[in-house]
């Protein structure tokens, strides 16, 4: 998996208080990408800055890069592109140990960016899903449905019901879940989940678990579209985290 080069198209939006500032930010982004020793920039273009507010301009930078899966994941964490397109190869095979390690890297990366827990909003009207699977059901989901079975462990301030509903919205089936309340508040969640590849990335980015262990299958075949969707989910969650952080900071400054 580490030796497989990926060719990806990225579209990254940069902002400035003037047209010149936005375009300079675009040029700086291209220079930083070219200076990154872990990826190769195959092409770079700018759309040109456009006004989106009274004192706000946005330039869109189009980049074609070649790197490995860890490299493209780090780029997504660092620059939160608005679009990620995996051009080639059509699929990659990832061993479960490597995928577990990749998820730990993702979790740690998002944790450095988002210090506060995220919420999806009001889930009270959402019905609770059934929990637990027969062994034959899990086998069918994994080997015929191209899903992944994995253990996660994370901290949350959510109730058991809200956690279950959130995991469901993120695209997971729940085989088992256990919440252990902590003395200082909140709870430690231990769960066995089954989901598509993109939902594994979404859960990891959303809850930043301390433990992610892929159980089955031993080798995961990930298509370019599945990887692309997963990377877009990560970028969206990181942007959401940054917006929450910025809005709370402004709220504290105005208090």
Arithmetic mean of pLDDT, 56-62? 94
Instruction: Find all residues with CB under 8 Å of 172, minimum gap 6, and list them.
Output: 193, 194, 195, 199, 203
C-alpha to C-alpha distance for 196 and 146, rounded to whole angstroms: 7
What the block records as the tokens of 30 is 């291209």
The answer, as to whether pTM is greater than 0.75, is: yes
pLDDT score, position 252: 42
pLDDT digits (tens, 9 = 90+) for 151-181: 999 999 888 999 999 999 999 999 999 999 8
C-alpha to C-alpha distance for 180 and 187, rounded to whole angstroms: 5
Q: How many CB atoms lie within 10 A of CB 204?
A: 27
Domains 6-89 and 93-222 share a fold: yes
CATH-assigned architecture of domain 6-89: 2-Layer Sandwich (3.30)
pLDDT score, position 246: 53
pLDDT digits (tens, 9 = 90+) for 194-243: 999 999 999 999 999 999 999 999 999 999 999 999 999 999 988 887 77
Instruction: Find all residues with CB under 8 Å of 127, minimum gap 6, and list them.
Output: none
> Between 3.30.70.260, 3.40.50.300, 3.30.465.10, 2.60.40.10, what CATH number should domain 93-222 receive?
3.30.70.260
C-alpha to C-alpha distance for 86 and 222, rounded to whole angstroms: 12
Would you list the domain boundaries of the chain? 6-89, 93-222
């Amino acid at each position: 998996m580490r030796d497989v080069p990926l060719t990806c198209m990225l579209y990254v939006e940069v902002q400035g208080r003037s047209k010149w500032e936005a375009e300079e930010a675009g040029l700086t982004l291209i220079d930083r990408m070219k200076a990154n020793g872990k990826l190769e920039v195959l092409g770079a273009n700018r759309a040109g800055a456009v006004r989106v507010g009274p004192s706000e301009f946005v330039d869109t930078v189009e980049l074609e890069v070649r790197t490995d899966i860890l490299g493209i994941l780090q780029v997504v964490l660092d620059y939160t592109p608005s679009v990620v397109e995996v051009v080639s190869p059509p699929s990659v095979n990832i061993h479960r140990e490597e995928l577990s390690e990749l998820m730990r890297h993702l979790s740690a990366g998002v944790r450095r960016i988002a210090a506060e827990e995220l919420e999806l909003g009001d889930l009270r009207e959402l019905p609770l899903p059934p929990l637990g699977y027969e062994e034959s059901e899990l086998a069918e989901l994994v080997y015929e449905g191209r899903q992944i079975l994995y253990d996660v462990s994370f901290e949350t301030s959510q109730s058991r019901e809200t956690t279950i509903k959130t995991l469901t919205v993120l695209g997971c089936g729940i085989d088992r879940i256990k919440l252990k309340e902590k003395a200082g508040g909140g709870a430690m969640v231990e769960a066995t989940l089954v989901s598509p590849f993109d939902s594994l990335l979404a859960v990891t980015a959303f809850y930043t678990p301390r433990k992610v262990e892929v159980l089955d299958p031993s080798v995961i075949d990930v298509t370019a579209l599945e990887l692309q969707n997963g990377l877009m989910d990560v970028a969206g969650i990181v942007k959401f985290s940054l917006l929450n952080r910025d809005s709370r900071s402004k709220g504290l400054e105005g208090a």
